[in-house]
Each structure stands twice: as structure tokens, then as C-alpha cells.
Structure 1
Amino acid sequence: MEWVKAVQLLRAGRRPGVLVTVMSVRGHAPREAGAKMVVAADNVWSTVGGGNLEALGVERSREMIADGVTTPEVLTAALSDKAPYQHGVQCCGGEVKLLLEPLPVVPSVAIFGIGHVGLELARILARHDLELHLVDTRADQLTVERLSVLDDAVAQVHVHNVPVLPELVVGELPRGTHAVIMTHDHAEDAALCDAAIRTDALSTIGLIGSSAKWTRFQRKLAEDGNSAEAIARITTPIGLPELSGKEPAVIAVSVAAWLLQRFTAERQSAPAPSADRHTGSARTAVRRPAPAQREAKA
């Protein structure tokens, strides 16, 4: 189905869109209930019937994309020559309700180091709708058997097996990725930190480890020519300060919660929805229910 491919295309390209579905039909209408189309800022796939009905759906969908709206909406259009029209007369005589469901760009997280903590963190994050990148230089940490605990993942999991220079992966990550550095090797961690702060594409740079480790890293990063402002982009320790414990599962829960807080902050900082600008249709909103590792080694 074209609309399914369109959703996959938008997700792969990390572009927002809106899935428009004919929710219900009363009387005569161009398409039956269940018909779908996908709207992006610069494209439309499939159709819900054309004419004024479809034009209204596309127009409102693009407003939602521009305003960062994340709540589904219902748009009602009367197909009558007596109804006010914005995009031409459509006089089938029926009434159609369209469900507009935002397709937001989901969060992206990269875990560098899939050891005991990294795998536990991956297991938690995999239950969420996001892009999950797993990076390790040790092939035995990324075997199919070991990662089978992620087989039922909701997240899209991307495995990066890089025997050398894992910092090269930093430049391949989607813009806005939250990077968490917790490898088995402090030299590897340092190289990753250096690469991470030399790009503006990452949303979060988190480093696991002790205060002594961070003191050494700050000195090394400064010696390598990084400014104090750039070094300050790294957050360490990571996790919720009130959640203590050194067990891998406890650290992973703490770091996952810390990341979820950042996802929430990103959503809340999105542009506020604009006022209703529709004059040719009634619109109804559908509302849906809305650090531990201080001294641990990765």
C-alpha cells in the first residue's frame, strides 16, 4: 500500500508528516471509511477523495507539521453546495470525518559500548518508539544471540560493529541524536568525547564514569584544543542523582529515565500550536493520555 511505504519513507528520512484517515462517512462521499493518505511538508501520497475535502486535510496537516502538533485531530467536512468552501465546491451531499494523526520524528539514541550496562540500557530503550544505535568495537558484544533480547523491540535498532575508530560513527548519526558513551576502554571513551563535541549535530552527550575519570578527560580534551564551552556540552555523571546503586540494571534504569526527561523537554520546547485558522470546516481534537553510576566503570 502506498501510504505504508510513505510512512516508512518519512521515518527513514527523519521527516515529520501526518497520516490522514477517512474516519467515518455519512451519505455520499468520494472515498469510503478507512481510506488513507500521508502528508508531508512538500509531498502527498495516496488520496482521501480529492477536492475541497482533501485540500482541507492537506492544509491542516501542513499546519500541524509547521506548528509541531503531536495530538491527533478530527476534521469534519460537509460535502454540500451550501457549505462554505475554501478550495472549490464539492457537493456529494455527505459528511466526512478525517482523523489526522501526526507522524513525528522520533528520538534517536546512540549507545557507545554494549557491555553489561549498555545492554541493559538498550533493553529498556528498545521498548520505546525511537531510533536506537548500538555501537561497539567488540564483535562478541553484538552477536545475534546476545542481542536476541531485543527481538521484540518497538524501537528501530541499528547495530554498528566497528572494530576500530568507533568515533567515526558519530558523524553518521542522525542530527539530534542523544549519545551515551559507556565503552569498556577509557581511551575509546576519550576519543568519542572528542569527536562528539566537535560536531553540533548531537542533542545530548552523556558520559558514564567517576569524577576522577572526568577530571582526566577535561584536561585531555583541553590539551587537544577543545574550548571550555565545548567540553561543557558533556554531561557526567549521567542518570538520576536520587537513584543510587552500581548494579548494571539500576544504572540502566537511571540513565534511561534521564534520557526520557530529555525527550520530554524536546517535545515541550516544540512550537506551540497556532490558533484555528479554518473557516470551511469544524474541527475537533482527539486527546490521548498524555545518577546511579557515579563511581561505576562501564
Structure 2
Amino acid sequence: MTPFAPLLDAIASEGSAALVTLPRTAGSSPRDTGAWMVVRPSGRFNGTIGGGALEWEAIRHAQDALKKAQLAFAERSHALGPDLGQCCGGRVWVRIETFDQRHIEELRALAKATPRQYIVARPGTDGRIARRIAPVGEDPNAIADDEYIETFDERPTTVLLFGAGHVGRALVLALAPLPFAIRWIDPRADMFPKAMPQNVMPIASDDPSAEIDAAEHDAFILVMTHSHALDFEIVAKAIAAQRFPYVGLIGSETKRARFEHRMRDIGLTQEMIGKLVCPIGIDAIEGKLPAIIAASTAAQLLIAREHRRTRS
């Protein structure tokens, strides 16, 4: 998630807001490069750069910059131990930028960036950070010498979630604050709620399994449609592709056994079939309530994401 929508909300309610980011970290720090928070004149804030003395100092400086209507960005370096008495022992660089009504159109444009796009930034001649959304397909290595790719938190992992039933809805809510970009797919357009989290793109498709062909090579696949036949079509296609690090199917051990038998019948090997996650979720978390299944599955996805990151 990027900070631009929260900035717009803050300006709409209080007239101005400050963006606090960590453009650089070194050694042990409570958050990594790209962590952010949006601070309002009242002191209310969204996001976090790590809590403790670091965060409260940043809020104080951000409120001061807003009070002074400071336009140029400011940057400070903190040794967490000597400067702030925190035990992490590393060093962080804290950047503060302020925004108000004059920047609404700029922020609205940046808020439209999708998870598959990236934001290119550079220090502007006016003392502010100039940003643009890179076109889809632009080579990140082709940006100008004075530009850099700006990351906010971690780049999200794409999840293709097939099925907008009770568990699908609960899972969307469980994944809302987590580093995932969700393509929520169901042929029944009326099953999607009118309001949904920022990291969710609803897709009403008459051919849901076609989404597998267009999916990113390292996307996570979660299948929980209203139809076992459709479940099988999607799962078999995803397993056969052999390029997705996580393919999960809601269901019991009995459903898994039946699907395994059918996948062998169409020529999938046992090694390929063995990569199917079914039942989904963490074994130690029991319960059939949608919210419990969603929490357990969200934890499993986070584990799979970390496993993929450490192996890459």
C-alpha cells in the first residue's frame, strides 16, 4: 500500500498532512527502507516507521513542519542507540514532506498507481520530491541517473483469489493490511461488495481459469469457488503451469483425494500434484468459521511469502 490515499484523506479532513518515510536504513532497525506514516496537524497518524522514540520524534518534527507550512522536504539521520535510546543499534534516515490543497491533483494521480506499477522519484529543483508513475513495461534500469525507484513498505505479492463466497470475503478482509495485491475473481458480479480494500481488484469473469494464463509467474493461487468443477479446472491449470509457488484449494482431505485422482487421470505427475495445498491454512489453527479459516490462511500465505523471499 502506498501513502497517497491516506494523504488525500488527511488533507480532506484537516487541510494538510505530512509524509514521513525511511528512505534509507543501515544495520538493525525497527522497520526497513520504505516504511511510511502520514501525520496530520492534530497528531493523528496512519502507518508506522517503527514505534518508540523514533516515531514520536518524527511525529513532533512533522507537526512542526506543518505548523510552519514548510514546503521543502527535510531529512534527518538518527543513530537509534546513542540518539534515541533504542536498542536496535542501527541507523535510520527520516524524511518529512508536507502536502496541502495545492498538491491534491498530484496525489490523486499517484494514488492510481497499481501494485504492478512502480513510482520513480527524484529531488526537484524546488526542494520537493518529484514523482511519476512508470508506464507498465518500462525497464527499471532505464530510468535517468538522478531518478530512483521509490518503494513504500514491501512490494506486495499478487494473490489470485477465485471465489467471492463467505470465506473469500473474510480472506479479503484478513489480507487487507498485509503485503498482498489481490485479484478477486468470480463469474457472479453481484457477489462482490460495493466497498472493498484498496489492495483488491474485483474481476467478474465468465472464464475464471483464463486468469491463470495472464498471472504473474510468482503469484499465489487460492481457489474457493461455488463449483467443484470450476475449482478443479482452475487448480489443474495452475498445477500444470508449474510456475506458482503456492496453489491452495479450500476443502477436506476427501476433496483433495478426489482431485488428486482426477489430476493423475489427465496426466499430472505425483510430484506436481504434491505441491497442491489442501486443506488450506495452518494445521494448529482449527475452526470452520470463515474468519478463522481466513486468519489461518493469511498466516500460511505470509509464511509462504517469507519462504519465497529468503530463497530468491
Cα-Cα RMSD:
3.0
Structure 2: how far apart are the matches of 1:258 and 1:229? Answer: 21
The answer on whether the counterparts of 1:112 and 1:181 sit within 8 Å (CA) in structure 2 is: yes
Q: Offset at 1:224?
A: 0.8
List gaps (5 residues or longer) in structure 1: 23-30, 46-54, 66-99, 271-298
1:188 aligns with 2:287: no
Structure 1: how far apart are the matches of 2:169 and 2:179? Answer: 17
Partner residue, 1:114: 164
Q: Which moved more, 1:111-120 or 1:257-266?
A: 257-266
Q: Offset at 1:147?
A: 4.0
Identity of aligned residues (%): 27
Higher relative contact order (CA 8 A, sep 6+): 1
Deviation per CA, 1:29-65: give whole Å up to 9, x if none: xx343233569633326xxxxxxxxx4x65xx5xxx8
What is the aligned counterpart of 2:180 among 123, 126, 130? Answer: 130
Q: Which has the larger radius of gyration?
A: 1
- Pairwise mapping of residues 93-112 of structure 1 onto structure 2 (< 5 A)? 101=151, 105-112=155-162
The answer on whether the counterparts of 1:18 and 1:103 sit within 8 Å (CA) in structure 2 is: no
Partner residue, 1:34: 128
Structure 1: how far apart are the matches of 2:249 and 2:168? Answer: 12
Q: TM-score, normalised by structure 2?
A: 0.56
List gaps (5 residues or longer) in structure 2: 1-104
Structure 2: how far apart are the matches of 1:269 and 1:36? Answer: 34
Structure 2: how far apart are the matches of 1:268 and 1:147? Answer: 37
The answer on whether the counterparts of 2:224 and 2:249 sit within 8 Å (CA) in structure 1 is: yes
1:159 aligns with 2:202: yes
Partner residue, 1:242: 284
Deviation per CA, 1:248-276: give whole Å up to 9, x if none: 11111111111122222333334xxxxxx
Give the length in aligned residue pairs. 203
Q: TM-score, normalised by structure 1?
A: 0.59
The answer on whether the counterparts of 1:19 and 1:102 sit within 8 Å (CA) in structure 2 is: no
Structure 2: how far apart are the matches of 1:211 and 1:147? Answer: 34
Deviation per CA, 1:132-165: give whole Å up to 9, x if none: 11111333312xxx242x1xx231x2222123x4
